[in-house]
Amino acid sequence: MKAKSEHVRLCLLGAGWILVLLSPIVGALPGPGGLLLFVPGMVLLLRNSAWVRRRYARLKRRWPKAGNACDHAMRRQSALRRRQIAKGRVAPR
């Protein structure tokens, strides 16, 4: 994976925050619009911010069902790998 320049990382981080902050506003409208903004925003934040990753890990420890639902909605590779390990299909790394 290529290392991102600091400017690109900050732009992606800003875009992620904008999408997450706009999701409740769009969520007030009929339809799944808020979710369609929240998920990509969280993906951008999780990929570009160590602080957000730590907070997300804390959320998942405190509320595992909510964390699993979020991982499933974002189709995170780590969640898919953990699910396969739990089923005994793949050896852990």
Q: What is the pLDDT of residues 8-59, one digit of tens each?
A: 999 999 999 999 999 999 888 888 888 888 888 988 998 889 999 899 889 8
> Would the pLDDT of 75 be above 80?
no
Per the domain annotation, does 53 fall within a domain?
yes
Burial classification of residue 60, based on how many CB atoms lie within 10 Å of its CB (0-12 exposed, 13-18 middle, 19 or more buried): middle
Range of the domain at 78: 6-87
Q: Phi and psi of 4, rounded to 5°?
A: -85, 150
Q: Look at the chain and report how many structural domains it folds into.
A: 1
pTM above 0.85, yes or no: no
Per the domain annotation, does 69 fall within a domain?
yes
Per the domain annotation, does 93 fall within a domain?
no
The pLDDT confidence band at residue 68, using thresholds 50, 70 and 90, is confident
> Would the pLDDT of 1 be above 50?
no
